[in-house]
């Protein structure tokens, strides 16, 4: 129908499947996000560690390259669980900064502009709204965390052989689950903070605060009481433990040495909190975020 036919007309055409409508939100959000050249540049920079990882894997299997570069094969980092875990952790750090840039405005902007009634007066539920907003963060972070890591795992398997692939399948699952837990946590936290604060800058600040202030406090507790249980309030430490657990590199006991008057005064062996405790705290944090979102994401807030 031509635009010059100015009459009210019902829409009688085909409709999209209901399950796919939440994807409308990320599609429109990406257009906005990648309009910023600065963000696009930063997002590209986030792939540099992946490139380095790919080069390292390649070097391991290219005798000519090793000969040209005069590198001793023994000096090269071994390609094992520690190798992939290290790069998963690096990408996790980048993922945090991408979340800081993308996450806070998503819900906050809608709340500030009273846009929620416009979403929710349509055949579009609050759950779909939250999933739609979270998927903006989830899709972006997936693209820079577990997807390239799994591709590199397949690259390594291809170069090393099918035997290596079978023997190290646990690494692939660890890459996937560790990344997914991290990006889910980031997505939930960023959306909850965004819904709570409404202002982008303050929401970004709050997100930084949530990660760093408890970490500092936890470290103070650890040092004061010669323990590691303070890690339970540090999201970074929790994720580190959970990731180590998934990669099978988690060690509970660690040594805490107090140097007093320039000499070793005493040596105390302290234990990291058990893995289940880390998982439990992460679960509680996610549950709080969901409760907050459920409370704040409403068409209208009722003033009682």
* Nearest-angstrom CA–CA distance, 238 and 103: 21
Distance of alpha carbon 64 from the chain centroid: 37
Binding test (CB under 8 A) with another protein, winner from 7, 64, 72, 74: 7
* Nearest-angstrom CA–CA distance, 252 and 272: 5
Helix intervals (H) in the chain? 24-33, 37-45, 48-60, 63-69, 81-112, 116-120, 126-144, 146-160, 162-167, 169-197, 200-225, 235-247, 275-296
Q: Could you tell me which stretch among 120-128, 210-218, 247-255, 256-264 binds another protein (CB under 8 A)? A: 120-128
Cβ closest to another protein, residue 23 vs residue 233: 23
Binding test (CB under 8 A) with another protein, winner from 40, 41, 51, 112: 112
Quick check: 11 binds another protein (CB under 8 A)?
A: yes
Residue pair 281/238 in contact (Cβ under 8 Å)? The answer is yes
Quick check: 8 binds another protein (CB under 8 A)?
A: yes
Quick check: 262 binds another protein (CB under 8 A)?
A: no
Site residues for another protein, 282-301, by CB under 8 A, read 298-300
Dihedral-angle region of residue 272 (phi above 0 means left; psi in -120 to 50 means alpha; beta otherwise): beta
Residue pair 48/155 in contact (Cβ under 8 Å)? The answer is no
* Residue 196 Cβ vs another protein, minimum distance, rounded to whole Å: 18
Residue pair 53/94 in contact (Cβ under 8 Å)? The answer is no
Q: Could you tell me which stretch among 68-76, 86-94, 114-122, 214-222 binds another protein (CB under 8 A)? A: 114-122
Binding test (CB under 8 A) with another protein, winner from 34, 51, 122, 284: 122
* Residue 3 Cβ vs another protein, minimum distance, rounded to whole Å: 5
Q: Could you tell me which stretch among 13-21, 208-216, 236-244, 263-271 binds another protein (CB under 8 A)? A: 13-21
Cβ closest to another protein, residue 9 vs residue 263: 9
| Backbone dihedral angles phi then psi of residue 268, each to the nearest 5 degrees | -120, 135
Total Cβ atoms within 10 A of residue 89: 18
Total Cβ atoms within 10 A of residue 286: 17
* Nearest-angstrom CA–CA distance, 182 and 137: 11
Lookup result for tokens 């540090």: 234
* Nearest-angstrom CA–CA distance, 145 and 180: 9
Cβ closest to another protein, residue 7 vs residue 72: 7
Cβ closest to another protein, residue 27 vs residue 266: 27
Q: Could you tell me which stretch among 78-86, 110-118, 147-155, 168-176 binds another protein (CB under 8 A)? A: 110-118
Quick check: 19 binds another protein (CB under 8 A)?
A: no
Binding test (CB under 8 A) with another protein, winner from 107, 110, 182, 197: 110
Lookup result for tokens 């050249």: 37
Quick check: 24 binds another protein (CB under 8 A)?
A: yes
Cβ closest to another protein, residue 61 vs residue 109: 109
Q: Which residues here bind another protein, judged by CB under 8 A?
A: 1, 3-16, 18, 21, 24, 28, 32, 109-110, 112-115, 117-125, 298-300, 302-304
């Amino acid at each position: 129908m031509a635009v010059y036919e100015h009459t009210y007309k019902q829409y009688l055409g085909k409709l999209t499947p209901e399950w796919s409508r939440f994807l409308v939100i990320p599609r429109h959000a990406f257009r906005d996000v990648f309009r910023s050249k600065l963000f696009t540049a930063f997002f590209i920079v986030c792939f540099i560690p992946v490139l380095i990882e790919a080069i390292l894997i390649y070097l391991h299997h290219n005798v000519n390259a090793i000969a040209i570069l005069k590198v001793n094969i023994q000096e090269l980092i071994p390609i094992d669980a520690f190798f992939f875990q290290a790069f998963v952790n690096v990408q996790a750090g980048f993922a945090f900064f991408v979340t800081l840039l993308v996450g806070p405005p998503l819900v906050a902007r809608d709340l500030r502009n009273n846009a929620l009634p416009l979403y929710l007066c349509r055949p579009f539920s609050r759950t779909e709204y939250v999933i739609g907003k979270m998927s903006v963060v989830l899709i972006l972070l997936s693209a820079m965390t577990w997807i390239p890591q799994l591709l590199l795992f397949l690259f390594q398997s291809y170069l090393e052989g099918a035997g290596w692939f079978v023997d190290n399948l646990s690494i692939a699952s660890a890459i996937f689950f560790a990344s997914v837990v991290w990006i889910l946590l980031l997505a939930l936290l960023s959306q909850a903070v965004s819904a709570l604060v409404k202002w982008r800058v303050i929401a970004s600040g709050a997100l930084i605060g949530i990660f760093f202030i408890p970490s500092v406090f936890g470290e103070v507790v650890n040092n004061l009481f010669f323990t590691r249980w303070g890690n339970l309030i540090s999201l970074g430490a929790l994720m580190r433990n959970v990731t180590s657990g998934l990669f099978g590199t988690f060690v509970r006991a660690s040594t805490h040495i107090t140097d007093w008057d320039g000499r070793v005064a005493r040596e105390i062996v302290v234990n990291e909190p058990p893995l289940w405790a880390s998982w439990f705290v992460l679960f509680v944090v996610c549950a709080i975020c969901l409760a907050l979102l459920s409370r704040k994401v409403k068409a209208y807030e009722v003033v009682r």
